[in-house]
Structure 1
Amino acid sequence: MKRIATIAAVAASVGFLLAGPNAVAAAPSHQAPAVATSCYGSAKSFSTDSADQWPQGANYATTTSNCADINVKPTSGMWVQTCFLGANFYCNKATWITGGTWGTAATGVLNGTAFYLQFDRPTHGLVAY
């Protein structure tokens, strides 16, 4: 039995060598496990008009398990405030976020929390939550 395994290994090596220098070994046929979406990798584009709020109107966003915080990357520097819906409706203190950088609008937010963002002027950019 050992001799058969040795012959098979030698045959495979010879076959690989005969294939030439550009031969590529085959990858295992198993699939890699699914990778969780990163916080910033799940970011969504946002834009505000004269409302200075996102989402606009009576709409709201709901936090996910992708991020522990609500993160905003506006195109220009501005103040942003997060308002949380529900029985204990409240808005946190406004935070300055420098344009073109990620900033935290709210920290330690539980998954499934309904919220909207209030800006001090119309803007657009990315939001990750």
Structure 2
Amino acid sequence: MRIRSRIAPIALTAVMLGGGMAAATAATASADVPKAGAQIQSCYGSAKNYTAVGDGSTAIWPAGTAWARTTSNCADINIKVNYNRHVKVCYRHGCQDYQYAKAGQWKVLDHVPNGWEFYLEFSGGNNGTGKVAY
């Protein structure tokens, strides 16, 4: 009986230490794996404020004859409008169809490689503001 009383605490201590090591190993292993949203956070973290300038029927960003150029920050063109808008992406070879973007929500407009020149066109012609990540 006395032997059992000595073995039980030792065995319990060994189990607890072993479990703690397994938990520490699992925590370390999971710290090395990037979280699913890490790339998205990085992409949106590089977002720029935009102001689209209108002429009565459409509004454009960037204004004038400027072009934006896709970067390695994102694998796509994303927009977050301040007001519900229809927006399309235009490239040197042509424009896509309008897509509906809801205020305050990120919208992926297109998946494109790095280095593509583009501009955004908003329907309605009113000036618009928001964020763009590309």
User: TM-score, normalized by length of structure 1?
Assistant: 0.66
Alignment partner of 1:65: what SS?
coil
Partner residue of 1:41 out of 13, 35, 45: 45
Q: Does the Cα contact within 8 Å between 2:70 and 2:115 map onto a contact in 1?
A: yes
Note the C-alpha offset of 1:56. 0.7
The answer on 1:117 being equivalent to 2:124 is: no
Amino acid at match of 2:75: A
Measured on the aligned residues, the alpha-carbon RMSD in Å equals: 1.5
- Whether 2:72 is the aligned partner of 1:65: answer yes
Runs of 4+ in 1 over 2 A off after TM superposition: none
Task: Give the drift of 1:114.
Answer: 0.3
Q: Give aligned pairs, total.
A: 90
- Structure number with the higher strand fraction is 2
Residue of structure 2 equivalent to 1:80: 87
Q: Give the % identical residues.
A: 41
Gaps in structure 1 of 5+ consecutive residues: 1-35
Aligned equivalents of 2:115 and 2:91: distance in 1? 11
1:94 aligns with 98
Per-residue CA distance 1:12-37 (angstroms, 9 max, x = gap): xxxxxxxxxxxxxxxxxxxxxxxx98
How far apart are 1:49 and its partner, in Å?
A: 2.5
Structure 2: distance between partners of 1:79 and 1:120: 6
TM-score, structure 2 as length reference = 0.64
Residue 99 of structure 1 and its aligned partner are, at CA, apart by: 0.6
Listed as ranges, the gaps of 5+ residues in structure 2 are 1-38
Describe the SS at the equivalent of 1:39: helix
